[in-house]
Amino acid sequence: MEIKDFQSKLFAKGKKKGFREMETYYSATKSTTVNVLDHEVKNFAITEQRGISFRGIYKEKMGYSYTEKIDETSIELLVAEAMENAESIEMDDKEELYAGADYYESVNQYSQAASNLSPKELIGAAIAMENTALQVSPFVKRVIQCSAVKGEGETIIANTKGLYCTAKYTNLSAGIYLMASDGGQTTTGYESDFTWKEFVAIDSRVIAEKAAQEALSKLGANSIETGNYPIVLRYDTATQLLNAFTSNLSGEVVEKGFSRLQGKLGEKIAGANITILDDPFMEDAPGVAAFDAEGYPTRKNELVQEGILLSFMHNRKTAKNAGRESTGNAAKSSYSASLSVGPHNLYLQPGQTTLSELITETETGIFIVELQGTNAGINAVSGDFSLSAIGFLIENGKLGRPINQITLAGNLYEVLHNIEAIANDLRIKGTVSSPSIKIKSLTVSGK
């Protein structure tokens, strides 16, 4: 069944049942994944998926439902479920659907060349990546995962108030996860890269070499004395911490009383060197978007400026409840989720120094290159974290022996006041990014 046809039948049925306003959020994705092992393709996957989310105002409450089966039988289900869901809602938000804006920024995230890429090219890149990695050193023993992926998709949001937003995107990526061993110890290394444009932008050699070096550099690690140490977090581990903190900047989390930033607008919540932005228009960022999940135009937002909390991220509902304007941060993790709030391309503003200068300027400390257990070891509400870590000793400004079997513990809110230096190495790879940072001190548990 064609999506337009389905939608008009759905709206007609909804209207008959008493819905005042209605909206559909349609998303369709396709992907090809190649996985290589021992110089040949280990597995190959082709996927096609589409689904539709329905929401509408019934008895002055917003009801949601979704389906992946786009046929006549689902129209009945979508309307009936959304009605019962609307009747279940007790929150009195007086929601209205959005009629659309006159102007949307034009962003580019679709490439015909990427869409046309053949599986053969993906296989070639993945095999080259594995070969390169295994040639770096005899200590690189085995590749655990080596893949190249092509993805593309389309999103259409349309409603009975005239909103019609559509976006198409492509995404190409390659990544390798491998293990090294010196006979006694085993270590792992991971690296990946992505682009929406052309596959040549991804250098599979560089990815393979970086992953191999990462694993090799960790060989010979052991623990360290328990104590408080100055800490340099490499960009990827700093990003993991910033990512965990980001939920506290969500207008929805604040509204529900789960953020300690509630009531702190205009106050100093971080050191004067901390500026946090959300920029949906940055070229090549994966979170680029002209409109959010309810069709509201996106914009560049300054959330924290030189340590002062300026704004939370909002969708139209949380903005209204807070007496503010939407910041274009309505988010929907998939068509099966209800509307929430999330970043497009949030980052900590980089500084002037290089990562190596950050290390040179550290007398004694630990350089952290891996944090594990972020799914459980960070309490986003209290900000307390305790995470398994791997890194290197810094002695007299030089990188020394590798360190493992340690945990790193502290509090995210306190860390924001204790960042001594921020590097210039911001790498945008997801919706939240941080450059490398130096923290005055954190507790390291080891021997």
Subset of residues 212 to 241 that bind another protein, contact rule: CB under 8 A: 223, 226-228
Residue 121 as a binder of another protein (CB under 8 A): the answer is no
Q: Which is nearer to another protein, 138 or 257 (CB)?
A: 257
Rounded CA separation 179/187 (Å): 6
Residue 118 interacts with another protein (CB under 8 A): yes or no = no
Closer residue to another protein (CB): 428 or 442: 442
Least Cβ distance, residue 402 to another protein (angstroms): 13
**Residues 118, 120, 123, CA angle at the centre, nearest 5°?**
120
φ, ψ of residue 259 to 5 degrees: the values are -120, 135
Does 124 engage in binding with another protein (CB under 8 A)?
no
Check binding of 113 to another protein (CB under 8 A). Answer: no
DSSP state of 316: H
Site for another protein in 187-206 (CB under 8 A): 187-188
Among 46, 112, 263, 396, binds another protein (CB under 8 A): 46
Reading across the β-sheet that carries 276-278, which strands appear in turn? 308-309, 301-305, 276-278, 346-348, 432-433
Q: Which is nearer to another protein, 262 or 349 (CB)?
A: 262
In the region spanning residues 18 to 37, those forming contacts with another protein, defined by CB under 8 A, are 37
- Bridge partners (DSSP) listed for residue 189: 178
Looking at residues 268 to 327 of the shown chain, list those that interact with another protein (rule: CB under 8 A): none
Least distance between another protein and beta carbon 260 (Å): 6
Q: Which one, 48 or 363, has the nearer CB to another protein?
A: 48
| Residue closer to another protein (CB basis): 355 or 378 | 378
- Two tokens at 260? 């300690």
> Taking CB under 8 A as the rule, does residue 45 contact another protein?
yes
The three-class DSSP label of residue 358 is helix
Nearer to another protein by Cβ, of 16 and 46: the residue is: 46
Phi, then psi, of 36 in degrees rounded to 5: -115, 140
Give least dist CB 89 to another protein, A: 6
Which position among 409, 424, 429, 430 is part of the footprint of another protein (CB under 8 A)?
A: 409
Between 384 and 403, how does the x/- string for binding to another protein read (CB under 8 A)?
xxxxx---------------
Contacts of 323 (CB under 8 A, 6+ apart): none
Chosen residue from 3, 15, 81, 397 binding another protein by CB under 8 A: 81
Residue number, 110 or 258, with CB nearest to another protein? 258
Q: Is 94 in the site for another protein (CB under 8 A)?
A: no
Residue 381 in contact with another protein, rule: CB under 8 A: yes
Nearest-approach distance from CB 257 to another protein, in angstroms: 5
In the list 89, 219, 277, 310, the residue contacting another protein (rule: CB under 8 A) is 89
257 near another protein, rule: CB under 8 A: yes
Instruction: Give, in order, the Cα–Cα distances in Å from 374 to each of 57, 112, 285.
Output: 38, 37, 23
Residues ≥6 apart with Cβ < 8 Å to 135: none
Angle at CA of residue 347, ends 421 and 350, nearest 5°: 35
The binder of another protein chosen from 5, 9, 43, 60 (CB under 8 A): 43
Scanning 82-90, 152-160, 168-176, 419-427 for contacts with another protein by CB under 8 A, the matching segment is: 82-90
User: Is the CB of 239 or the CB of 301 nearer to another protein?
Assistant: 239
Give the footprint of another protein on residues 319-378 (CB under 8 A): 336-338, 372-373, 375-377
Binding segment toward another protein, per CB under 8 A, in 15-23, 57-65, 109-117, 125-133: 57-65
DSSP state of 272: T
Closest C-alpha to 349, from 407, 227, 435: 435
Q: How far apart are CA 389 and CA 405, in angstroms?
A: 7
Cα–Cα distances in angstroms (integers) from residue 232 to residues 245, 298, 366, 389, 412, in the given order: 18, 34, 6, 12, 15
Least gap, CB of 436 to another protein (angstroms) = 22
Listed in order, strand segments (DSSP E) in 196-300 are 227-233, 276-278
Binding-residue total with another protein (CB under 8 A): 79
Q: Are 24 and 7 in contact (CB under 8 A)?
A: yes
Q: At its nearest, how many Å lie between another protein and the CB of residue 440?
A: 9
68 vs 198 by CB, closer to another protein = 68
Q: Reduce the DSSP state of residue 426 to 3 states and report it.
A: coil
DSSP conformation letters of 114-164: HHH--HHHHHHHHHHHHHHHHHH-TTEEEEEEEEEEEEEEEEEEEETTS-E
Cα distances (Å, whole numbers) of residue 313 to 11, 31, 97, 193: 31, 31, 19, 28
- Cβ at position 65, least distance to another protein in Å: 5
253 is an interface residue for another protein by CB under 8 A: no
Among 12, 99, 144, 272, binds another protein (CB under 8 A): 144
Return the structure tokens found at 194: 């992505």
